[in-house]
Amino acid sequence: MKRFTSLILAIMLLGCMMLPVGAADAANRDNLKFKQDGTFKIIQVADLQEGFLSSPITQDFLYDLAKKERPDLFVLTGDNIAGGLTNLGFRLGSNIAVKVSIDAFMRVFDRIYCDFGIPVTMVYGNHDNEDHWFSRAEQFKLYTKHKSFIGWADSGADKGTKDNLGEHYGTHNLLIKDSAGKGPIFNLWLFDSGSNDERGGYSCVQKPQIDWFKATNEAVGKLPSIAFQHIMVPEVYDYLTPANPGDENSFSREFIDAGDNVTKKYVSWELPAGVPGVMREPPGPGKYNEGQYAALTGAGNVLALFVGHDHVNTYEITVQGGLDLVCSPGTGYGPYGDGDLRGVRVITLNESSLTAYETSTLHYISYYGDSPLRRARAEMAQEMNSWAALLDVFSFKPLFWLIGLFTK
């Protein structure tokens, strides 16, 4: 019965797959440049975890952000789809659901690209292919069918990596030219931090990717840069407020070094003085560490690492003489999260000061101000998660359409 139901659902979803999606304009990755005012703005979108019923509230939020904020690039930092939720019981159904899920939110970015010329790139998270049926490499081909997508996967960085879902995939970099378009002056690093380590815990950026980073960094001239990935590095525990075993209002995490030595680190829930943002769940790096943070710090030209994964953390840890560690809130309404934090991170670079950056978070409820209607919509999405996407189609979505119709 389960397989029969899955087959019927798969056939229904197949119709959605017939909609055209365009094709990636790869040349646009060479057109990234600072604006004439000297700025380059990035919006980081973390943990969409979209299913085949894409959330209208999220789609509207992303489009409105593009229209008002006019970023130069969107970066998706993993868990773009709810991989486990797309497993319909057999391979065909699962693959179709993955395609529908990716196409559903990527069409929003295609619309943004067509209307405002803003491209998007992405890295994977631990959930993206956790149904085991659809590999990261296979999924990547789906992204490249969208004209807004400028990511690339032939860097060779991921060759030799492995975790419980196979090889990492899609690690790449993007160069940003000066405002005159003469040549690259800034670099963006995008790492696939993997899924789950076969030895236990989450995966991490591995040695082949680190070696690629070092070689590529030298090849492009060690330009000022920032990095993006899904899972935080273990070193974040060295920069949180230390605690002792048994302290109230504290938590701990175990880490294992190359010699299989176990270290348990205790930290306080209270962020260090001067650190903006919040920490409502323990940061979730993997147990094992292959030296990514040391490599990025040692390079001397990487300013910060931006991650997602922990949906209700928004801290911004500035490390003097090191690599800043910045966690961004979950954007999607499908996974767990707090209503006041759902949103995105904005990062602004400035051509006149390439060794600095500005960052802040934009949250759905505060972004739309005091609109009772939008607040009610956000509360419905918060309470009902994925089911809200279906209800929204018959309630708030037509209501907003009518309001727009009569206020033009």
**Torsional class of 380: left (φ above 0), alpha (ψ -120 to 50), beta (otherwise):** alpha
Average pLDDT, the chain: 89
In a domain, 10, yes or no: no
pTM for the model stands at: 0.92
79 in Cβ contact with 139 (< 8 Å):
no
Which range, of 34-48, 208-222, 325-339, 382-396, averages the lowest pLDDT?
A: 382-396
Q: CA-to-CA distance for 368 and 394, rounded, in angstroms?
A: 21
In a domain, 5, yes or no: no
Q: CA-to-CA distance for 305 and 285, rounded, in angstroms?
A: 13
- Domain of 174 in residue numbering reads as 20-407
In a domain, 3, yes or no: no
Structure tokens at 106: 């990527």
In a domain, 13, yes or no: no
In a domain, 37, yes or no: yes
- Mean pLDDT for 341-358 is 97
In the predicted structure, residue 5 carries a pLDDT above the cut 70: no
Summarised one tens digit per residue, pLDDT across range 51-93 is 766 788 899 999 999 999 999 999 999 999 987 654 445 555 5
How many domains are contained in the chain? 1
Helices 207-219 and 292-299, axial angle in degrees (round to 10) = 10
Residue 311: CATH number of its domain: 3.60.21.10
Between 234 and 7, whose confidence is greater?
Answer: 234
In a domain, 328, yes or no: yes
Q: CA-to-CA distance for 224 and 247, rounded, in angstroms?
A: 40
In a domain, 269, yes or no: yes
In a domain, 24, yes or no: yes
Helix/strand/coil (H, E, C) string of the chain? CHHHHHHHHHHHHHHHHCCCCCCCCHHHHHHCECCCCCEEEEEEEECCCECCCCCHHHHHHHHHHHHHHCCCEEEEECCCECHHHHCCCCHHHHHHHHHHHHHHHHHHHHHHHHHHCCCEEEECCCCCCCCCCCCHHHHHHHHHCCCCECCCCCCCCCCCCCECCECCCCCEEEEEECCCCCCEEEEEEECCCCCECCCCCECCCCHHHHHHHHHHHHHCCCCCEEEECCCCCHHHHHCCCECCCCCCCEEEEEEECCCCCEEEEEEECCCCCCCCCCECCCCCCCCECCCHHHHHHHHCCEEEEEECCCCCECCEECCCCCCEEEECCECCCCCCCCCCCCEEEEEEEECCCCCCEEEEEEEHHHHCCCCHHHHHHHHHHHHHCCHHHHHHHHCHHHHHHHHHHHHC
- Mean pLDDT for 95-105 is 87
Measured from the Cβ of residue 1, the count of other Cβ atoms closer than 10 Å reads 5
At 182 the pLDDT is 92
